[in-house]
Amino acid sequence: MKILLIILTVVILSADIKQEMLHLYQNKNFEEVCNLGFKNFNANSKEARTNATYFSTILLQKKLLYYAMIDEENSALKYKLYILIDKIVIKEFYNSKSIKKHIYW
């Protein structure tokens, strides 16, 4: 019975922390969200590594899209993004010929 009570308490506290982090993020208190996350979550857990991968992928896609949009004068330059299990690959093409390949681990 005591074990069940301890598990229930941990689950409730964990849910409260995630809800608080969401609330802080929505209010644009990014530094507080980061600090709270570092204090309460193990950075070496599988979930943390997976989330870091997703976040990095989103940032790279955003950067790639930004550069593609501002490069209007060079319409022959194109990009392709490949997301593999353990790395991200960005290929640059000029007139349909591959000119550069970026690999991020």
The C-alpha atoms of residue 77 and residue 3 are separated, in whole angstroms, by 61
Q: How confident is the model at residue 49 (pLDDT cuts 50, 70, 90)?
A: confident
Domain residue ranges of the chain, discontinuous segments joined by +: 1-41, 58-105
Contact status, residue 79 vs residue 68, Cβ threshold 8 Å = yes
pLDDT at 51: 80
Indicate the average pLDDT of the chain.
76
pLDDT at 4: 54
pLDDT at 1: 59
Mean pLDDT of all residues in 14-32:
80
* pTM of the complete model beyond 0.75: no
pLDDT at 85: 74
- The beta strands (E) that lie in the chain are given as 77-83, 88-94, 97-104
